[in-house]
Amino acid sequence: MRLGESNDSLHIARLISSGCGGSSLGFGSAPFSRVTTTSFSSKFFLTSFILRAKPVPVMANLDDKEPVAPEKPLATPHDTYVYKMLSDPALAAAEFKHVLPKEIGAEIEWDILEQDTNRFSDENLDNHYTDLLFKTKLRGRPIKLRLLLEHSSYDKPFELLQALRYQVEQWERESKEKKEAKDKQHRLTPIITVILHHSETGWRGRPRFVEYFGLDEDLARLLKPFVVDFGIVLDDISKVNTEALIQRPVQPTVKLMLFALRFARDVARNGRTVLLDELPKMVPVIEEVLQGPNGWLAMRVFLVYVKAVAKVSEADVQTSLQELIESRLHPEMLAAFKQLEEAQRAYREGQRKGELKGERAVLTRLLTQRFGGLTPAAVARLESATLAELDAMTLRVFTAATVDEVLGGP
């Protein structure tokens, strides 16, 4: 199953940005701390995030650093999930360190890695790609380095052509800047491209650009010095098992994201989504996510992504997560969860009362403007009305002939 509807992507984007102004989530920027009542989600959050589209109040401080916005709206839930998660340099650095050759990783200044403010604006960019550009330096050398992270969620011919467009656009930008600055050092920044891929078939593309030319061995040896050629670092998780994802030296939130990308679209022969069968193995990771910074938000994004992408009912995901999480929680964690659930219930009740008060005030004003002062009986009727009744009364206020007809009409 593959979804590409922009509504799902927009929902996840709004979900992630709700309460944090679109800022970077900062899931990997703080160390894991001992569980407290404000550092992780509650059972209520886990079982209700799937059902509720409205944002809930932020219960942890979020990183204020603004990520670089994509040039155009991201078209799939996969793109949105990857872009928002890996825009955080700390999370992206862990992914880069895992996939890059060790000898290259050892030469990179990881502590100064930051997202590049430059954006790619080629009109031909395929909206199934997520491009993230980072910049840093090489250790002990005055040489800059850029790392390009691409995400692709289906197999496509000529994927390296996309990476070449990115590189050329960046180099053209650099050359223009050097010319304007009258920089006589005609040097461009090397760019290493990493592609994070997941699809039903797995990566079937070429590892090097020169292979697109279809040259035989003799011609390749003869022409290679004079034609375009570069390679990419491929992270194809299409066939990676859950155990391998858990063992990755990346933050728990990234493990959870990779797990969702890997299994959400897989369906077993019995028609059951593979993600649900694999979910029990991820419980230790989920516990780490919940205890980490902004863990409740990471879980909420995970759940909405799974709902958007997987062939699975809301009830299945809800039940599986609730049973798995509750079966593994320590008593003090369960007690804290219950406290948070009570706090959330009180918050919702406060929201409901505020909505009632606001609609009652609007209706009172409309009735007074049209019919004059209200009798005590009419005021009492408004005070006792439910939200649905107030909605119906508001619809009648412009057509009814009397106050009584508004308040008690059919």
Q: 3-state DSSP call for residue 386? A: coil
Q: Please tell me whether residues 385 and 296 are part of one structural domain.
A: no
Question: 214 vs 147, 217, 218, 255, CA distance in Å?
Answer: 28, 10, 11, 37
Q: How far is CA 250 from the centre of its chain?
A: 17
Query: What phi and psi values does residue 196 have, to the nearest 5 degrees?
Result: -95, 115
In 321-377 the beta strands, taken as DSSP E runs, fall at none
Q: Residue 349 pLDDT more than 80?
A: no
Look up the pTM and report it: 0.66
Q: Please tell me whether residues 317 and 343 are part of one structural domain.
A: no
Per-residue pLDDT band at 136 (split at 50, 70, 90): very high
Residue, of 69 and 305, whose pLDDT is higher: 305
Q: Please tell me whether residues 276 and 290 are part of one structural domain.
A: yes
Q: What range does the domain containing 269 cover?
A: 6-329
Domain presence at residue 219 = yes
Q: Please tell me whether residues 370 and 393 are part of one structural domain.
A: yes
Question: 32-53: buried (b, 16+ CB within 10 Å) or exposed (e) per residue?
Answer: eeebeeebbbbbbbbbbbbeee
Out of 329, 354, 386, pick the residue that ends a domain.
Answer: 329
Average pLDDT, the chain: 76
Beta bridge mates, 195: 150, 234
Residue 105 half-sphere exposure toward CB, CA atoms < 13 A? 13
pLDDT digits (tens, 9 = 90+) for 237-275: 999 999 999 999 999 999 999 999 999 888 766 667 788
Q: Residue 348 pLDDT more than 80?
A: no
Out of 302, 329, 356, pick the residue that ends a domain.
Answer: 329
Q: Please tell me whether residues 235 and 377 are part of one structural domain.
A: no
Mean pLDDT (whole number) for 290-308: 81
- What pLDDT does residue 328 have? 59
Domain presence at residue 63 = yes
Domain presence at residue 1 = no
Amino acid letter at 78?
H
Name residues whose C-beta falls within 8 Å of residue 208's C-beta, 6 or more positions apart in sequence.
160, 229, 230, 231
Q: 3-state DSSP call for residue 154? A: coil
Mean pLDDT (whole number) for 186-200: 92
Residue 312 half-sphere exposure toward CB, CA atoms < 13 A? 29
Out of 295, 329, 363, pick the residue that ends a domain.
Answer: 329
Mean pLDDT (whole number) for 120-149: 73
Cα(339)–Cα(330) distance, integer angstroms: 14
Query: What are 149's two structure tokens?
Result: 């992270």
Q: Please tell me whether residues 194 and 325 are part of one structural domain.
A: yes
Q: Is the torsion defined by CA of 305, 311, 316, 320 positive or negative? A: negative
Q: Residue 46 pLDDT more than 50?
A: no
Residue 19 half-sphere exposure toward CB, CA atoms < 13 A? 16
Domain presence at residue 179 = yes
Q: Please tell me whether residues 244 and 345 are part of one structural domain.
A: no
Q: Please tell me whether residues 338 and 320 are part of one structural domain.
A: no
